Amino acid sequence: MGKQRTRSERAARAREFEDFVAGAAGRLLHVATLLTAETRIRNPYAQELLAAALAHAYAVRERGHDEDPYALTRDGLALRFARTARRHRTGRGGILGALTPTERLVLVLCLYEGVPEEQAGALLGLPEARVRAVCARAVARMRSRTGKGAAA
């Protein structure tokens, strides 16, 4: 009886995870692709990052943590990227290819994902003022780049 219930519980949780991935994977993969500065069509590093972050979120959920899975996966993605940022210094044709990995992280977390600066700083181990400064610099660099692109 007990075993039966755990099995059905596990199946329900697996279905829940599948639903979550079906709903959120597109946006998360977009975030990962922005971070690694790959293109929409060819993004093997972003897919690997997302698969690792999703696997971790799945394992943590199975252990019974009751956090928002989206935030959990996104933060895991950001941290994994921050750890391997040296590999992604040069862009691979993405929109943010001209920025440094830290600038990309801050820009994506604060502007695209709308994470509060304080929270992003805590996640990345940066003071809030620095997050704000990096964000402003990244915005300025993006604007100067697109401005030049439009003028050319």
Partner 1 sequence: MRQGDKEAAVRRLLDTPHPPVPGDLAARAAARGDRARRRERTLRRTGGALAGIAALAFSLWAAEARPWEPPPAATTPPFAGP
# of chain residues touching partner 1 (CB under 8 A): 41
Cβ proximity to partner 1, 119 vs 132, nearer residue: 132
Nearest distance in Å: CB 33, partner 1? 6
Q: Which residue has the tokens 């921050």?
A: 82
Contact string 65-104 vs partner 1 (x = CB under 8 A): ------------------------------xx--------
What token pair was written down for 92?
A: 């691979």
Q: Which residue has the tokens 């030049």?
A: 148
What token pair was written down for 23?
A: 């709903």
Give me the torsion for CA of 133, 35, 28, 140, rounded to 10°. Answer: 40
Contact in structure between 28 and 55 (CB atoms under 8 Å): no
Contact in structure between 101 and 49 (CB atoms under 8 Å): no
Q: Is 52 in the site for partner 1 (CB under 8 A)?
A: yes
Q: Which residues bind partner 1 (CB under 8 A)?
A: 14, 17-18, 21-22, 25-27, 29-30, 33-34, 40-41, 43, 46-47, 50-52, 54-59, 62-63, 95-96, 107-108, 111-112, 136, 138-140, 142-143, 146
